[in-house]
Every structure is written in C-alpha cells, then in structure tokens.
Amino acid sequence: MADQSSFDAVFDSPVGKLGIQVQGKILCRLGFLSGRYPLKQAQRTETCKVQRAILCYFDNPLAVPDIDFQLSGTLFQRKVWCALRRIPAGKVMTYGALAERLGTGARAVGNACRRNPVPIIVPCHRVVAQQGLGGFAGDHEGRLTKVKHWLLQAEGVEIRN
C-alpha cells in the first residue's frame, strides 16, 4: 500500500476512496484505495479542482472529465493509454481487439492497462475480456473488479461473467 502522504487528497466516491496526486495543475496519479486510508482534504485550489472534476464524472459518467493529466510510462504504455482514450463512454473493446489494432498481444495490453496511472481519466475499465469482465488494476475477482463493473454499469454497459 502506498503511503497516504503520497496523495494530495483522499476522498470518498461512489466506488470507494480515491487518492489523487497533483503537480501544479496536472493530475499525475489516481488510485482506488482500500478503506484503511484516512480521508485527506485537498489543501490547494488546483487539487480541489481536480477532485471536483473527478467527482463530476460520477454524476455524469458519459461525460469526459476535463482534467489535465500526465502519463509517465514507456512508449508502448503511452500508446495503449492513448488508444484507451479513444474508446467512448458507454462502449467497450476486448483486450484482443485492442491488441490487434495496436499490433501487439492481449497480455501486453492488459499489462499496460494495469499500470495506468490515471484510471477513469484514461478509461482502462472499458477494456474487457473476450468472455466477461476481465481484470482491473491487477485484480481478477476482488474489490477492484467490482469497481470496474460499477464504472461500466454507470456508463450503461452490462457485462455478464
């Protein structure tokens, strides 16, 4: 578990606690946190704005959150994350189909999704298995897959396992 001090704010959302790290006005990290994290109020105006924009997504999951963000990762990861941004809200794509589009393997796409530093903003939850939901953030049957299911359902997508 990451140290709470690494987040500029920890707040409640419909899918549980979220932690955000903001540098300047740029979102660098968004994490789905366990209940062990205490809430942490945003201290800076920029962090409050990012937090509000993320919470607005939960009010209207079909809208794209208006947040500047930074993606730190390999060239391949950034290529996958860019492709994820082109999947519209309310739609899904399989790991295999995205891999084919990018000329790579489904496992490589899944690994890039797992390392996504800003889920929701870069919607890795919209990538699903050929048969069913698939994993989410490295989780295959726990709390985070329930978060993925919730996010998709809020966007109007029903996936049955």
User: Is 82 a catalytic site residue?
Assistant: no
Active-site choice (28, 48, 113, 124) = 124
In contact, 86 and 133? CB cutoff 8 Å: no
End-to-end CA distance of the chain: 29
Q: Give the residue numbers marked as catalytic.
A: 124
